[in-house]
């Protein structure tokens, strides 16, 4: 199949889906209130892969990605965690929530925090904050939602009252693109 980030995706039947079809899907409106640079409607500014997996590595192939930039000291990040946990648990086949810590925190601090506070989703650590810097993140929590074609479909605050509906819209639109009809 094609790798994430290319201009097309592959259905479960191995059929290539052109980027133009993805462009016509019912994606959520772009968020105007951002604490980061906007990449909505564009591919990620850099590929993942330099982060250290703290939890067991999970497959992201064929899944909508939610990248959550957070820190152990961030109150709003902690308050968003139960929502992200609930969404991961209810969408295990179609969603991969990846919590990316960094912000100068050492990996040991994060691991110690997760002993008592881990959720059902995955944790990665980016000590040099390469990924958050690529997104221009100026405030956390900051969440990025990507469809299976590697395009950012929404980004913003995971505590947003509409966040669950936005994520559901992305999952449903993405599923429609990959359906075998």
Q: Is the pLDDT of residue 70 over 50?
A: yes
Catalytic residues: 74, 77
pLDDT tens-digit map of 93-123: 999 999 999 877 899 999 999 999 989 999 9
pLDDT tens-digit map of 32-67: 989 899 999 999 999 898 899 999 899 999 999 999
Q: Which string of DSSP letters, residue by residue, matches the chain?
A: -PPTTSS-EE-TTS-EE-HHHHHTS-PPPPPS--SS---TTSB-SS-S-SSEESS-----TTSEEEEEEE-TT-HHHHHHHHHHHHHHHHTTTTEEEEEEE-TT--HHHHHHHHHHH--SSEEEE-TT-HHHHHTT--SSSEEEEE-TTSBEEEEE-TT-TTHHHHHHHHHHHHHHHH---
Q: Is the pLDDT of residue 16 over 90?
A: no
Q: How confident is the model at residue 6 (pLDDT cuts 50, 70, 90)?
A: very low
pLDDT tens-digit map of 124-181: 999 889 999 999 999 999 999 999 989 999 999 998 889 999 999 999 988 887 775 4
Q: How confident is the model at residue 10 (pLDDT cuts 50, 70, 90)?
A: low
């Amino acid at each position: 199949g094609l790798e994430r980030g290319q201009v097309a995706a592959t259905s479960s039947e191995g059929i290539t889906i052109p980027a133009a079809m993805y462009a016509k899907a019912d994606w959520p409106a772009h968020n105007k209130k951002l604490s980061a640079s906007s990449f909505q409607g564009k591919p990620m500014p850099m590929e993942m892969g330099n982060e250290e997996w703290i939890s067991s590595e999970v497959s992201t192939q064929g899944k909508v990605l939610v990248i959550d930039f957070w820190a152990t000291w961030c109150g709003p990040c902690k308050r968003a965690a139960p929502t992200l946990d609930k969404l991961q648990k209810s969408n295990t086949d179609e969603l991969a929530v990846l919590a990316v810590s960094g912000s100068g925190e050492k990996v040991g601090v994060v691991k110690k925090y997760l002993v008592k506070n881990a959720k059902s989703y995955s944790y990665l650590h980016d000590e040099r904050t390469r990924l958050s810097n690529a997104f221009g993140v100026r405030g956390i929590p900051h969440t990025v939602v990507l469809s299976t074609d590697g395009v950012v479909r929404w980004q913003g605050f995971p505590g947003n009252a509409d966040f669950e509906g936005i994520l559901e819209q992305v999952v449903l639109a993405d599923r429609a693109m990959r359906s075998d009809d």
